[in-house]
Amino acid sequence: MANRTPTLREDIPRGNVFQRFYASFESPGRRRALHALIVALLIVTPWISSQYVTVILTNALLYVVLCLGLNVVVGYAGLLDLGYAAFFAVGAYTVGILTQQFGINFWAAIPFALLAAAIAGVIIGGPTLRLRSDYLAIVTLGFGEIVRFTARNLEITGGASGLSHIPEPSLFGWQIDSSIDFYYVFALLAVLAYIASQRLFDSRLGRAWLYVRHDEDAAEAMGINRVATKLAAYVIGAIFGAIGGIFFSVNLGAISPESFSFQQSVLILLAVVLGGMGKIPGVILGAFIVVLGPELLRDFDTLRLLIFAVLLLLIMLFRPSGIWPEKRS
Amino acid sequence: MNKILSLIASAAVINLAAGSLAMAQDGPITIGVQVPTTGSEATYGKDMLNAVTLSANEINADGGLLDGRQIQLVTGDTACDPQQSVNAASRLASRQVVGVVGGYCSGATQPTLKTYGDANIPFVIVAANSTQLIPANPGNAFMINSTGADQAKTAVDFFEGKGIEKVAIVNQGDAYSQDLANLTRDAWTEAGHTVSAFEYVNKGEQDFSALVNKIRSSGAEAVFWTAYYADGGLLIRQLRQRGFQGTIAVGDGSNSPELFNIAGQAAEGVFAFSNPTADFLPAAKQFIGDYQTEFGNAPGPYAPLAYDGMQLMAWAIDKAGSTDSDAIIEALASADDQEWLAGPISFTPQHTLARSNFVVLEGQDGKWIRYEE
Amino acid sequence: MTWYDSFLQQLVDGLVLGSFYALVALGYTMVFGVIKLLNFAHGDLYMTGAFAGFGGLSLVSGFLGAGWLGIFVAMLLAMLAVGCLGVVIERVAYHPMLAAPRLSILITALAVSLVLQNAALSLTGGQYTAFRTDLGFGGFNLGNLFLSYNQIVLVATAAVLMIALELFVSRTLYGRAMRAVSIDKDMCRMMGINVSAVIAVTFFIGSGLAAAAGTMAGAYYGSIWYFMGFLIGLKAFTAAVIGGIGSITGAMLGGLILGLLESFGTHIPFIGSEWKDVFTFSILILVLVFKPTGLLGKSEVERM
């Protein structure tokens, strides 16, 4: 096949309303003020809204964590992962099994869940990251389905009914059980995921991903270990997903294989693509859109899914780098 | 920044939608209806919603509850998906519903038990009947459909009555059908018989030829399909197409008349274990007529139970004399074998139906008739 | 049944299932050959084909009946309609993306798949549609081996379609152009080949074959629904990969092999049928990792 030079559509400098708005916060002082405002809003919201709004926002914050994780894989490293829900499942099931079946303390189970996700990332990433990108997409899809089927077939994962009665955690005497408690847990996780994403983006590894994504061969010529760099993205993404899964399982108190289907992976990917691959605020916006959108469109019944699909297609055709694309100076 | 925008937008819009709460002491009594109105089980969900609506309309026409307060229904669509169910349930809880009626898919009903439990809202589960729901019940939920354990017992009695020794059990790998398959397998083995094959199919798979061969070579005299009608119809077709001569029975997820559309002539002589559907209830003549007039089609398999669920909730509110949750829950628990459309209701200490309401049906000339041994 | 009879029965059933996989796999492999795109929407074209065939049959069953003749005409109509849909999809969604990064075009393909699926979901309300035909359950026994007439017609139709395709690709001008385009597009342009037209023809044929498979599956199994393309899409892709993606003979071979593997896989002792799809996906992953060129594919070094 002929060599084609990658035309990077995302490099076209074009500021939409979001970017211009964001640009007005470029100065450190203003940005700090903005961050403070966001944190204040996150703290206040559950006290001024109904339980329903709190639950939906908790869900949106969960998706923020998941989407920022997938963004590391897809947006930073440019690897299409269609089985991201698998890592979400690994985190949720590890904690579910350890706490509910073996009576291990929730906080003590977390390291095991993270380790399990990292191992899963290495197992699937190790042999496959040398593959062409579309093969990788299909392999991750297959992997996602294998994880779901395995959870459905095993005794220890509770079969198709899944696990229920996953105990709620407590922290220094604070029993985390109401919807507001969980809202704050997820708000904290989302903020941490945001900070971690930002740090990764600015790090040496972040620049290595950029090179690998734009030109693998040139990156390798410059001494970047291609496979190790990709693998790092994969494992970090897996850990983000597992963190989401860990708290998802204790929040719902029950998990079943249906929550980790291919549709779930697609939804997370959709959020990342909608918002703009690689751009943190864009991805967060995407996460809010995919969670709040269907709730606001409830009256459209099945049409809402079609609306989402058409939206995704239009975005790919006319704005392939998302509503709020990455722009790296 | 986007968070701000989204938060403001969402808080504003959703609060607006969920706003105007009916809190007044003399205002309408809000009852939540938790059913799947979208997704692959939407027919069942809409049918149940219709029956609940009919039930509420009748009560309202009779002067409502608690000195003339009218019943107002709010729908929560679960789409048979656990996450969406929780969203729907918390939406209902936020709207301060007095009670909730519904619950079709067991897998999607299970996580909502916690939501209603935390909010202490009485919940009458009308269709979902996995035994997995029982330990997850915080005490405010009541199941008026017999559980999978009752159905497994009906199945065992039926197969024994036919003098069958070897049964093949096939499920679809979802919470409901896997639960029923496991229960039947255990009950059948315990009764001293053989389960010759215990198989799974994946939802949406079309080719069951390898499975049919396996069942045939296992020497099974009967096949028990524990899942839903859509794939069940395909399995029945392929079993008969390949010359399986034995008995075929299906569980209550397949008691829809749609089974005959998909399986065609192969569904003749198939047996179904079923909760009492309207056609077989002597008390339901009036109900069938009213339903037909109101919605233009015949009531589906869960319509009578959904209707009863609403009636039972209304009865409990009246008996409690207030909209206080604890009083309503206490009233529900005291239900004492009164006759309802689908038969008498009283509860075990686990809040499951005290009697088994399963009947055996047989497919004849493209419809279900009551099977008498 | 004896062991031998059971073996033969599995063989026959595996071939029937395999011919569905092969027909769908051909579309993957042809599109992949000419534009190096993994067309995620291909399984959904199979689904669309099934619904188009259903619509076609209700149009013609009035005067042709719902037997094999009616189904055959409905199948041709579905092939035509879905073939055109495939061309439209290529023009609207894929063509503008050919120069974009591969990640973008893959996501576009995924988006097309979701649009088709959800459009069908909205139209049918997620319900199963009964595909009613006049086909009986007739067949004949060879010893203990049961062969239905439907199976025979089905395998024969699939074989005819595949032979026709093979002849088209190897003997006709367009077929040769198709092979040339899959090797080097730029060179083809210089030689005066209308590359766009060749790509359009490829999409038309690939989508048409999926529609043929969809209609036959609907008629044979008796019900259709919006999500029926997902699983078979994945499996057909697996088949294409086993045979060597890009190779037409490979797709046919891969389809048959996968059909047989699944048919016999159900009988592996100690592994229940609940693991069947895990088994299929594991094969896919293993082949991709250890022999990405498949059985008949050409090796090609490429990095994104």
pLDDT in tens, chain C (304 residues): 566 777 888 888 888 889 989 999 998 888 888 888 888 899 999 999 999 999 999 999 888 888 888 999 999 999 999 999 999 999 999 988 887 777 788 889 989 999 999 899 888 877 788 888 887 777 777 777 778 888 888 899 999 999 999 899 889 988 889 888 888 888 888 888 888 999 999 999 999 999 999 999 999 888 898 888 988 988 898 899 888 888 888 999 999 999 988 888 777 666 677 788 888 888 888 888 888 888 877 655 443 3
Contact B210 C272 (CB under 8 A): no
To the nearest whole Å, the CA of B340 is away from the closest chain A CA by 31
What residues in A contact C303, CB-CB < 8 Å? Answer: 132, 216-217
Hey, what are A151's tokens? Answer: 């959870």
pLDDT of A4 higher than 50: no
Question: Beta strand pairing status for A174-175 and A170-171?
Answer: antiparallel
Determine the Cα–Cα distance for residues C135 and C133; give it in Å rounded to an integer: 5
What residues in B contact A49, CB-CB < 8 Å? Answer: 11, 14-15
Closest CA to C109 of C121, C123, C98, C125: C98
Contact A164 B15 (CB under 8 A): no
pLDDT the model gives residue B332? 93
Q: DSSP labels for A177-243? A: -SHHHHHHHHHHHHHHHHHHHHHHHHSHHHHHHHHHHH-HHHHHHTT--HHHHHHHHHHHHHHHHHH
Residue C128 at interface with chain B, using a CB cutoff of 8 Å: yes
To the nearest whole Å, the CA of B172 is away from the closest chain A CA by 9
What pTM was estimated for this model as a whole?
0.84
For residue A151, the cross-strand partners are: none
Where do the domains of chain C lie, and which CATH numbers do they carry?
3-128+139-290 (1.10.3470)
Of the given ranges (A169-173, A298-302, B286-290, B331-335), which has the lowest mean pLDDT? A298-302
* Total count of residues recorded for chain A: 329
Q: What are all long-range contacts of B133-139, with beta carbons under 8 Å and residues at least 24 apart?
A: B133/B106, B133/B109, B134/B350, B134/B352, B135/A164, B135/A165, B136/A164, B136/A165, B136/A254, B136/B110, B137/B113, B137/B350, B137/B351, B138/B113, B138/B114, B139/B329, B139/B351
What residues in C contact A269, CB-CB < 8 Å? Answer: 107, 110
Pick C304's closest partner by Cβ from A9, A150, A216: A216
Contact B209 C221 (CB under 8 A): no
Residue C166 at interface with chain B, using a CB cutoff of 8 Å: no
Nearest Cα residue in chain B from C263: B210
To the nearest whole Å, the CA of C66 is away from the closest chain A CA by 32
pLDDT the model gives residue A3? 44
| Crossing angle between the packed helical segments C102-124 and C42-64, to the nearest 10 degrees | 40
pLDDT of A242 higher than 80: yes
Contact A288 B4 (CB under 8 A): no
Hey, what are A235's tokens? Answer: 């494992």
To the nearest whole Å, the CA of C216 is away from the closest chain A CA by 27
Q: Decide if C5 contacts C144 (C-beta within 8 A).
A: yes
Contact A52 B1 (CB under 8 A): no
pLDDT the model gives residue C52? 96
Determine the Cα–Cα distance for residues B369 and C40; give it in Å rounded to an integer: 45
Of the given ranges (A15-24, A129-138, C98-107), which has the lowest mean pLDDT? A15-24
Q: 3-class DSSP state for residue C152?
A: helix
To the nearest whole Å, the CA of B177 is away from the closest chain C CA by 13
Question: What is the 8-class DSSP label of residue C35?
Answer: H
pLDDT of A6 higher than 60: no
Task: Tell me how far CA of residue B359 lies from CA of B51, B146, B151, B275, in angstroms.
Answer: 21, 11, 9, 6
Name which of C19, C46, C231, C273 to mutate to probe chain B: the one with the most chain B Cβ atoms within 10 A of its Cβ. C273
Neighbours of chain A (3+ CB pairs under 8 A): B, C
Band the pLDDT of B309: cuts 50, 70, 90: very high
pLDDT the model gives residue A299? 62
| Crossing angle between the packed helical segments A226-252 and A179-202, to the nearest 10 degrees | 170
Determine the Cα–Cα distance for residues B188 and A229; give it in Å rounded to an integer: 56
Where do the domains of chain B lie, and which CATH numbers do they carry?
28-146+281-346 (3.40.50.2300), 149-274 (3.40.50.2300)
Residues 6+ apart with CB under 8 A from A270: A286, A290, A308, A312
Per mean pLDDT, which of A29-43, A208-222, B161-175, C254-268 is the most reliable? Answer: B161-175
pLDDT the model gives residue C214? 95
**Cα end-to-end span (Å), chain B:** 70
Of the given ranges (A291-300, A320-329, B317-326), which has the lowest mean pLDDT? A320-329
Average pLDDT, chain B: 86
Residue found under tokens 């205002």: B27
Average pLDDT over residues A200-218: 88
What residues in B contact C44, CB-CB < 8 Å? Answer: none
ipTM score here?
0.82
Q: 3-class DSSP state for residue B167?
A: strand
Within a 10 A sphere around the Cβ of C170, how many other Cβ atoms? 11
Pick C278's closest partner by Cβ from A149, A302, A306: A149
Taking only residues 181 to 240 of chain C, the set having a beta carbon closer than 8 angstroms to any beta carbon of chain B reads 217, 221-223, 225, 227-228, 230-232
Q: Decide if A124 contacts A139 (C-beta within 8 A).
A: yes
Contact C122 A131 (CB under 8 A): no
Residue found under tokens 């990405």: C292
Closest CA to B117 of A305, A253, A263, A135: A253
Determine the Cα–Cα distance for residues A107 and A112; give it in Å rounded to an integer: 10
Query: Which amino acid is located at B150 in the chain?
Result: D
pLDDT the model gives residue A15? 58
pLDDT the model gives residue A9? 44
Cβ-based burial of B282 (10 A; exposed 0-12, middle 13-18, buried ≥19) = exposed
Cβ-based burial of A15 (10 A; exposed 0-12, middle 13-18, buried ≥19) = exposed
Band the pLDDT of B82: cuts 50, 70, 90: confident
Name which of A8, A135, A314 to mutate to probe chain C: the one with the most chain C Cβ atoms within 10 A of its Cβ. A135
Determine the Cα–Cα distance for residues B145 and C282; give it in Å rounded to an integer: 41
Contact A292 B6 (CB under 8 A): yes
* Total count of residues recorded for chain B: 373
Determine the Cα–Cα distance for residues B107 and B89; give it in Å rounded to an integer: 14
